[in-house]
């Protein structure tokens, strides 16, 4: 297994070093790609310093301006596939996701094609979120299950590990969503294609540094796109995909 974790950044200078060092410590096979959207706080410069000290396990992609979470992950995934990585992970740069949990996501790929770090399965949870955020997240995930038929407890989660055949078949060029809707679109296509998905319990911790990137526009996009996908697509998964790890 050659895993790469893609970490999009915009003004994450306070936490990036701990995120990168934690990811490298989680599994000796892991490499890190920081995709920085022209952070004015110097995050991109810090990422370059970490790459120089990273013994070849850290790389940086610089983009001129903030261009959205979805496009950052697509660019990072394309970079990783072009260099022969066979597992592509997603992780936030603000320490909401514990880098040590990457080891459990990778282990889960022994029996799955997509492993999702889930807040809403047994053993998972959220720390330090206000009530309105908890309600928005839980109700949003229930809405997604209802409208699409996808049986995931945490379809909006941004802590994941994909086997590359999944990403290849999903076809990144055909994706249209940005923000958290990107996570929904990727999960829905993976499920509809018949790949095996598992949810791994994690504890999500509200960030203590920097500012959240979530906005009303991001929430609205996720809601209307989920409704559109639910109306346009099947409400059940395809039979087990022939390339699924579970069928081999």
Picking from 42, 41, 48, 39, the residue whose alpha carbon sits closest to that of residue 20 is 48
Q: What is the pLDDT of residues 204-217, one digit of tens each?
A: 998 777 666 566 67
Return the SS3 of 58.
Answer: strand
Max Cα–Cα distance, the chain, nearest Å: 49
Cβ contact 193:241 at 8 Å: yes
Pair of tokens at residue 225: 């796109």
Q: What is the pTM of this model?
A: 0.93
Give the residue with greater pLDDT, 80 vs 206. 80
Q: Which residue has the tokens 């991001």?
A: 218
Mean pLDDT of 38-64: 96
Pair of tokens at residue 30: 């892991």
Q: How many angstroms from the chain centroid is the CA of residue 40?
A: 24
Cβ contact 89:4 at 8 Å: yes
**pLDDT value, residue 213:** 55
What is the dihedral angle through the alpha carbons of 232, 238, 241, 245, rounded to the nearest 10 degrees?
A: 100
């Amino acid at each position: 297994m050659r895993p790469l974790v893609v970490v999009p950044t915009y003004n994450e200078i306070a936490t990036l070093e701990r995120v990168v060092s934690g990811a490298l410590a989680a599994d000796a096979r892991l490499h890190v790609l920081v995709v920085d959207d022209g952070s004015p706080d110097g995050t991109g410069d810090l990422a370059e310093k970490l790459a120089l000290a990273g013994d070849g396990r850290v790389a940086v992609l610089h983009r001129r301006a903030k261009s959205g979470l979805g496009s950052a992950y697509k660019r990072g995934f394309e970079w990783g596939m072009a260099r022969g990585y066979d597992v592509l992970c997603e992780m936030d740069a603000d320490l909401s996701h514990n880098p040590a949990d990457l080891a459990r996501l990778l282990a889960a790929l022994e029996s799955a094609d997509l492993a999702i770090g889930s807040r809403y399965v047994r053993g998972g949870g959220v720390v330090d979120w206000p009530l309105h955020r908890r309600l928005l997240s839980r109700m949003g995930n229930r809405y997604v299950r209802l409208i699409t038929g996808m049986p995931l407890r945490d379809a909006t989660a941004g802590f994941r590990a994909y086997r590359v055949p999944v990403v290849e078949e999903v076809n990144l060029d055909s994706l249209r969503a940005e923000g958290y809707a990107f996570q929904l679109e990727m999960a829905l296509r993976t499920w509809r294609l018949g790949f095996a998905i598992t949810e791994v319990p994690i504890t999500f911790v509200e960030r203590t540094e920097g500012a959240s990137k979530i906005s009303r526009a991001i929430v609205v996009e996720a809601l209307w796109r989920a409704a559109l996908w639910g109306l346009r697509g099947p409400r059940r998964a395809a039979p087990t995909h022939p390339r699924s790890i579970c069928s081999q």
